[in-house]
Amino acid sequence: MEDPQYPFVSVIIPVFNDEEDLKLCLAALSRQTYGRSRYEIIVVDNGSDQPEAVKAAIGSDDRVVLTRELTPGSYAARNQGLALATGEIIAFTDADCIPAPTWLEAGVQQLTEVSNCGLVAGQIQMFVRNPDRPTMVELYESVMALPQQMFLEKHHYGATANVFTTRQVIEQVGGFDADLKSSGDLEWGQRVYAHGYQQVYAASALVQHPTQASFRDFYTRTRRLAGGHYDLRLKQARSAWQRQVVFLLTLGQNLIPPVFFAINTLLDTRLSGLGQKLKVSLMMVLVRYVSAWETLRLKLGGVSNRA
């Protein structure tokens, strides 16, 4: 796919203390079926502790542009990438994702062939690093994390681990809300939808994403997601009374025991045996209570975390 008629693509990748996964991501991007001269890769170091390690991970690929954004948060980093992007099409992925060889080709095809398309959400396939001995965290994430088709169809957005859009859309709806540590993709995607653009799910535009393995990483990520979601709902509230309602609803929803989730988990054929199903149900209880605690902490004056 080298023909110059194909649009030039800017791939934007934020990275924070994850240079080893970044190497795998960049290696996968070097194997794309899309023409080598038809895309650039913009890596945005979001304040990594060892910036030289990020630079070393990039190597000598002349298509890769390295920049730095010190404002904490991946959405601030993505905005910095947008400021440098030269492509008429923008593709977002994350440093810990592994795009399939046809990722760019499939995403661009969907974006250009669907009339008035403003957002393509590609498939995110979760994988366990050691499938023979998955942890409780990995079991939970393998069935629950990043259901991209559901995000698009029910909430009108795609997780930025795998999203395509155009420069024209960015210019019309704006970039990401850099104040948000999480849920910035939700807020931005709903802006695209509100402007009347079509949104498409593309199973063929595939990236693989590793599950979290440790409770510590999972706990940190759960707090970040809960905090970002709460921050977004507060920003959308128009009065002090509405903000109080947001707090009470968010807290209450997270304190309700996940009975229906447990029932559905028992019927889930992706999990083998009662043991795995009970572990996943227990993880949902943990998610709910960690999210409730994070909501309470923010209500009492805490600040949401970037990682």
Taking the alpha carbons at both ends of the chain, their separation in whole angstroms is 38
From the list 16, 25, 11, 26, the residue with the least C-alpha distance to 81 is: 11
The pLDDT score that the predictor gives to residue 85 is 98
Token pair recorded at residue 156 = 């009108």
Cβ-based burial of 36 (10 A; exposed 0-12, middle 13-18, buried ≥19): exposed
Choose the weakest-confidence range: 1-5, 34-38, 257-261: 1-5
Burial 134-155 (b: 16+ CB within 10 A, else e): bbbbbbbbbbbbbebeebbeee
Residues 218, 144 contacting (CB under 8 angstroms)? no
Contacts of 103 (CB under 8 A, 6+ apart): 28, 32, 122, 162, 205, 206, 207
| Neighbouring C-alpha atoms within 13 Å toward the C-beta of 174 | 11
Which tens digit of pLDDT belongs to each residue from 201-260? 999 999 999 998 788 989 998 998 899 889 988 988 889 999 999 999 999 999 999 999
What values do phi and psi take at 90, rounded to 5?
Answer: -115, 130
The pLDDT score that the predictor gives to residue 181 is 83
Which tens digit of pLDDT belongs to each residue from 253-303? 999 999 999 999 999 988 889 999 999 999 999 999 999 999 999 999 998
The pLDDT score that the predictor gives to residue 126 is 94
Burial 54-68 (b: 16+ CB within 10 A, else e): beebbeeeeebbeee
The pLDDT score that the predictor gives to residue 276 is 92
76, pLDDT greater than 90: yes
The pLDDT score that the predictor gives to residue 46 is 96
The pLDDT score that the predictor gives to residue 307 is 53
The pLDDT score that the predictor gives to residue 2 is 55
Cβ-based burial of 296 (10 A; exposed 0-12, middle 13-18, buried ≥19): middle
Contacts of 277 (CB under 8 A, 6+ apart): 265, 266, 268, 271
Mean of pLDDT values over 43-62? 93
User: Is residue 129 very low, low, confident or very high in pLDDT (cuts 50, 70, 90)?
Assistant: confident
The pLDDT score that the predictor gives to residue 304 is 85
The pLDDT score that the predictor gives to residue 213 is 79
Q: What residue spans of 19-73 are helical by DSSP H? A: 19-29, 51-58
Q: Is the CATH number 3.90.550.10 carried by domain 9-210?
A: yes
SS3 253: helix
For tokens 């149900």, the residue is 281
What rounded mean pLDDT belongs to the chain? Answer: 93
Token pair recorded at residue 130 = 């050691």
Residue extents of the structural domains in the chain: 9-210, 215-299
Q: How far is Cα 296 from Cα 57, in angstroms, rounded to an integer?
A: 39
The DSSP-derived string for 216-235 is: HHHHHHHHHHHHHHHHHHHH
